[in-house]
C-alpha cells in the first residue's frame, strides 16, 4: 500500500501532533484564543466574556497558553496593578484556524443538533 506524503508526516509526527492538539483543542483554549484575537484583554474582562468559565479554569488556561508561547502576560503599572493578556505571534498564527472552526460550529450547530436528536430518538438507544 502506497502512503501519501501527508500519511507519512502524520505517522512520523503523531506524538507531537497529538500533544499540540490536546493542548490547543480544548474548548477553553479555543475561547481564549478567540477572545484575544481582537487585542489585549484583562483577566476579569475575559472571564465576563467567556460564558461558564471559572476563575480557576481561566487562570489554568492562560498559564498553559503562556507556557506554550501563545499568550503574553503584562503587568500594568497601575494602582492596584492589573494584568493584561495578549496573543504572541505564535498565538496569532493559531487565531485564523480557531476563527474558522468557530464559524464552522456556528454554521453547523443546527445540523449537529438535528443529527443528535435523530440518533437519540432511535429505538434501542
Q: Where are the alpha helices (DSSP H) in 1-125?
A: 5-24, 27-36, 43-49, 55-67, 89-120
Higher pLDDT, 79 or 17: 79
Q: What is the CATH number of the domain that holds 45?
A: 1.10.10.10
Give the per-residue pLDDT at 17: 78
CA distances from 1 to 4, 5, 7, 66, 70 (A): 10, 13, 12, 42, 39
pTM over 0.75: yes
3-class state of residue 87 by DSSP: strand
Tens digits of per-residue pLDDT, 81-116?
Answer: 889 999 999 999 999 998 998 899 999 999 999 999
Residue 125 inside a domain? The answer is no
Residue 60 inside a domain? The answer is yes
Higher pLDDT, 34 or 23: 34
pLDDT surpasses 80 at 124: no
Give the whole-angstrom CA distance, residue 36 versus residue 62: 11
Give the whole-angstrom CA distance, residue 43 versus residue 32: 10
Number of domains within the chain: 1
Tens digits of per-residue pLDDT, 31-57?
Answer: 999 999 999 999 999 999 999 999 999
Domain span at residue 96? 5-120
CB count within 10 Å of CB 32 equals 27
Amino acid at each position: 500500500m502506497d502512503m501519501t506524503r501527508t500519511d507519512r508526516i502524520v505517522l512520523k509526527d503523531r506524538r507531537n501532533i497529538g500533544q499540540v492538539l490536546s493542548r490547543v483543542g480544548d474548548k477553553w483554549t479555543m475561547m481564549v484564543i478567540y477572545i484575544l484575537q481582537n487585542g489585549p484583554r484583562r483577566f476579569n474582562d475575559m472571564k465576563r466574556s467567556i460564558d461558564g468559565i471559572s476563575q480557576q479554569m481561566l487562570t489554568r488556561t492562560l498559564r498553559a497558553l503562556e507556557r506554550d508561547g501563545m499568550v503574553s502576560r503584562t503587568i500594568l503599572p497601575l494602582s492596584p496593578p492589573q494584568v493584561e493578556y495578549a496573543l504572541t505571534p505564535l498565538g496569532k498564527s493559531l487565531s485564523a484556524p480557531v476563527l474558522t472552526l468557530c464559524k464552522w460550529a456556528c454554521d453547523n450547530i443546527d445540523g449537529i443538533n438535528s443529527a443528535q436528536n435523530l440518533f437519540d430518538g432511535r429505538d434501542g438507544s
